[in-house]
Structure 1
Amino acid sequence: MNNISLYESELLTNHYHPKVFAYYFKKWESYDMAFHTHNEVEIMYVIDGKCIVDTEEESVSMKKGDFILLDSNVSHRLIVEKNTPCRILNVEFSFIKKERRFPSIKELAAENKNLAELLLLNRPYVVLKDPNEIYHTLKNLVLEMDKKESEQEIMIQLLLAQLLIQIARMVVEESGKKSEQQQANVYVKKTIEYLHHNYDCDIQVKDIGQAVNLHPGYLHRIFKKQTGSTIMEYLTSLRMEKAKMLLADTDIPVIEISYYIGINSRQYFSLLFKKYTNKTPIEYRKSVEQNIVKFGR
């Protein structure tokens, strides 16, 4: 069995070795490749410059240190724009029946959970940033394949195993980060909803953490990362916008506005409002007085 998918179920049920069928370094200049497929799995590594790899799903911009792992028979093409040359290392491999004592893909996956997860992902391609380890393995693999020594095959299998395990670890870590990011998005959304529903109450971060079932410190960190502001900064901004609306569209006395937005100190409210709008609450109301709508009681 050769020329098969990286995600072929038989890789985990029978014994196969990876085998490199082609490899080359090449500098591309002003090139627009036609869409095509390979029977082998392909790794394209950008050594220098930048390029674009188009698939049927999306167009991927790649630069130095980026690489793409393309499964077999995935339609793609390479584009290198004018005056932006790109040097790429390509390695194409598939799988053959186990012939020697070196562990098969099945045996390696049994010992390495990341590799086992990679072989079950069934993703047509993955794009990753090299943490300064993939290129060294690829380069050593190519150098080893250029040798004509009797013990060459064991080194090639060692390097291929290393390469697959390194990539598997990166893919699984990336998937974990995406999952964590998605979960963080959910918590941030819940927090914003809580603030919009409770801005008129005396709120502390610990109260929000309890409401969304998350540790306040961790919630604070992911909120700042997602929105660019702290929870209390967001709450203050929300309260000031509500205060502006109440001052402009109602006749609620200025001295009572602070209580409508969850701030129990009139002085503190005035300071915050002046900082936020460059006007005192009274000055702001006067500036929009013509727009006031009597507040029904």
Structure 2
Amino acid sequence: MLKVLLVDDELLTIRMLKRLIDWEKFNFELVGYAKDGEEAYEAYLKYEPNIIITDIQMPNMTGMDFIKKVRETNKQTKIILVSAYGDFLNIQAAMKMGCSDYILKPIDEQELNEALKRVAEKIDVEEEQKRMINKSELQIKKLQLWNYMKTGVNTHHILKLQKGYNLNFESYYILIFELYYNTIDEFVNMQNIESLQMGYITRIMNHKLSDYQNILFEFEGSSWIALLSGIDQETLVYLSREIITTLKEDFHINVKACFSDCINELEDLPMKYKQTKLLCRYNFYVDTEDILGYGYNCKEEDFKQIQRNTLVSEVEEALKVKDIATIEKLLNEIFYLSKHINPFELDLIYEMCFEIIMIMKKIISDKSKKTVQMDDILSISYQDILELKSINSLKDYMWKLITEILNQHEQHKQQYSDLVKEGITVIESNYNKSLSLEDICNEISISKNYFCYLFKREVGTSLWHYLTELRLKKAKELLLETDMKSYEISFQVGYDNPSYFSKLFKKYEEMTPNEFRKQMQKQ
């Protein structure tokens, strides 16, 4: 409710004002009254009213002097003047000082109602502007924090701003909910949700997190990321499971949750974010836990092994398909670890490199013809690796071995790798079925995670978007070449919901299936 203070030296006027308006009905609360400027200023300091209704001519301190004192400390409080006919000069002066409205005595009920209504509307507009400005400033701060978390850039600037966030950076967690699709139906459901209900889902997640200090970043790519403080690990696990269940039961969205250990400094955020994202990647590979967290079912000391297993597995997948760009990226990631581990634990990097060399040896051993360089690689021992005394020399050595192996393959790059071409064949042969990622990957013998990455990198879109576009292409052919009805075509190309099919078609083609058919028939 808006707080109102009444100021007039005539007690009869005060009583009349109290009775004249149904204050509560219009969301006003009368917090006090005063008979002169001095009393009014004391009441103003005590009650901090939103609206003041004051006379001009009063003893001890005039209404004009009272208004000046209020305006010295507060430009926002709305002031309505009540004045006699002879006060026009004072009214003009008061309006210049920022008064909102004035009413001439004797006071008319309708006129006072209208003045209060105008002032209340002005307060509402200003409050909404404040909310928008605060929201905008919060969004900018969140964006700055998001960028720092992902890149580690502008540390000094972020450290200056950390008190402006709704988070205790001396004790907080990173919590990531990562989407995963097992079937085209799940992908279709998520696309539908993204266009219609993402705002609603975000509000639900904000509500679930609202009992704790939190920063929930905007949904990006395939994940929601939140920072939380004022929560213990047991509650964090419970909260994660509750959100997973809500997304599954209410929206049919599958997610896995991963969280960091408790972080004690803002400066550690970028490194801990990388660890938690790597935990998500690892969780996708093992595909056994809905929730994975450091200190919960994954020890901090296990992180090195998780990094090792995940990165080495991804290098192995990339070597199989001669994906040199991905190998280069993964090697950089492996050697990036050397900057953030105890110098006495650098054996981890050497062991990972030797594991990669063992993978190369297996690839070479399967070949019927071997070059001299391949024979040299087959003879490399772990001791040979240890003789490389610096991390930089080890990195150069690994890169040399990898390029030597990959240079043995044909120089002319195909449009797509064999694995992607095989995947496309499976998709095109089964486009109108409820195809799952597992079906595709089992058919071509490749891990789900790596195939999704490889497909998007080579084709330029996700395999589910590719399948969607293929289905719509087939639908257009049927619209032009047959007399089938729209709902029949929907079923024919793999959509069980004709309404969704029509909306999807319009989204891509900017017209409904029937409009498309009519337009093509005219041409």
Which category describes the TM-score, using the shorter chain as reference length?
A: 0.3 to 0.5
TM-score by length of 2: 0.24
TM-score by length of 1: 0.40
Q: Which has the higher strand share?
A: 1
Q: Which has the higher helix share?
A: 2
Max Rg structure: 2
